[in-house]
Amino acid sequence: MQIKADEKAKVLEILGGTNLESKLLSMGVYKGKQVVKLSHIGLKGPVVIKSGRSILALGHSVAEKIIVEKE
């Protein structure tokens, strides 16, 4: 589901191949991790999230592949 800026959510699944999944995994975004969406830029622009103490910028299509669930 799509969450708004400043909303918290839990990662349910990461779609789109093992490479993306392992990259996100090594950066600390994995199944069950709680993330906060900080903002998105424009309609199809990047999404900025906070995971733990890191802030990550995800291209729009990366963000689309991270399936989350609101708590």
Phi and psi, residue 68, nearest 5°? -125, 165
- From CA 5, how far away is CA 19, in angstroms rounded? 27
Q: Using CB under 8 A, pick the residue from 2, 8, 10, 44 that binds other proteins.
A: 44
36 binds other proteins (CB under 8 A): no
Report the residue count for the chain: 71
Least CB distance to other proteins at residue 19 (A): 6
Choice between 27 and 69, CB closer to other proteins: 27
- From CA 62, how far away is CA 30, in angstroms rounded? 13
Q: Which residues bind other proteins (CB under 8 A)?
A: 5, 19-20, 22-28, 30-31, 33, 38-42, 44-46, 48, 52-59, 61-62
